[in-house]
Amino acid sequence: MTTTLYEIETSESDDGTLRPDEALWTPAGKDAVDHGFVVHRGLYVAGISSPADDRLHPQSFVALGHHKWSDLIEAAATYMDRVHGWRTLHSYPDDDPSETIHRIPRAVLTWCVLLLHPHPDHPCGCEWEGSWRMIWAPPDEPGAIPITAMRHPAAPAAAAGLPDPDQGGLATWAG
**Model confidence, pTM:** 0.85
Distance (Å, whole) CA 85 – CA 34:
19
**pLDDT tens by residue, the chain, 175 residues:** 345 677 888 888 888 888 888 889 999 999 999 999 999 999 999 999 866 566 678 999 999 999 999 999 999 999 999 998 887 777 877 787 777 666 788 999 999 999 988 767 777 777 778 789 899 999 999 899 999 999 988 888 777 788 999 988 789 999 9
The dihedral over CA atoms of 100, 106, 110, 111, expressed in degrees to the nearest 10, equals 10
Distance (Å, whole) CA 91 – CA 150:
15
Cβ(115)–Cβ(131) below 8 Å:
no
Which secondary structure element, helix H or strand E, spans residue 64, and what is its range?
A: strand 60-64
